[in-house]
């Protein structure tokens, strides 16, 4: 990596991380009527039992992931569906996939010049605790850890070089 590439990477992270946080905050405000608080990655994140994934293709290439614990996933889905009864797991998957999709779309729409030049994949959701996620994007990584009702959620954008 050249010095110029390192500076460009830092610059992109410094510029885009606040945009990503704003995109997440707006989605949670609109869809769930709640705000999130930013926390340090050093804090114990706890188990991530649900990871929603949306791919980005075109002028911006990479993946956006949204991860949270089981209780948070259930609360998010229940609030989105205005349903406080026990939800089938498939509805929890749908809700988390949609949250991830909205965050990715909101983020890309905030970047100047990407309107029709960046496409999003259909969301996928991975569940369970016995997995580790590895992105092969090979570029910059922007990560936010936020608190939703005192439980951490992790939003990560892995960009392809």
pLDDT digits (tens, 9 = 90+) for 89-128: 889 999 999 999 999 999 999 987 766 688 999 999 999 8
Stronger pLDDT, 116 or 58, i.e. the higher one: 58
- With b for 16 or more beta-carbon neighbours within 10 A and e for fewer, the 120-159 pattern comes to beebebeeeeeeeeebebeebebebbbebeebbbbbbbbb
Q: What's the pLDDT band for 6 if we cut at 50, 70, 90?
A: very low
What is the reported pLDDT for 62? 92
pTM equals 0.87
CATH code of the domain made up of 3-160: 3.40.1550.10
């Amino acid at each position: 990596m050249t010095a110029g590439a390192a500076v460009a990477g830092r610059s992109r992270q410094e510029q885009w991380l606040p945009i990503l946080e704003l995109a997440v905050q707006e989605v949670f405000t609109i869809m769930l009527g709640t705000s999130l608080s930013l926390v340090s990655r050093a804090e114990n994140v706890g188990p991530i039992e649900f990871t929603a994934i949306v791919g980005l293709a075109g002028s911006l290439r990479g993946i956006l992931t949204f991860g949270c614990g089981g209780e948070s996933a259930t609360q998010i889905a229940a609030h989105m569906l205005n349903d406080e009864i026990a939800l089938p797991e498939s509805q929890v998957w749908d809700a988390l996939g949609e949250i991830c999709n909205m965050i990715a779309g909101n983020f890309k729409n905030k970047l100047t010049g990407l309107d029709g030049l960046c496409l999003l994949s259909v969301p996928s959701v991975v569940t369970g605790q016995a997995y580790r996620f590895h992105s092969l994007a090979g570029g910059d990584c922007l990560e936010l850890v936020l608190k939703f009702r005192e439980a951490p959620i992790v939003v990560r954008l892995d960009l392809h070089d």
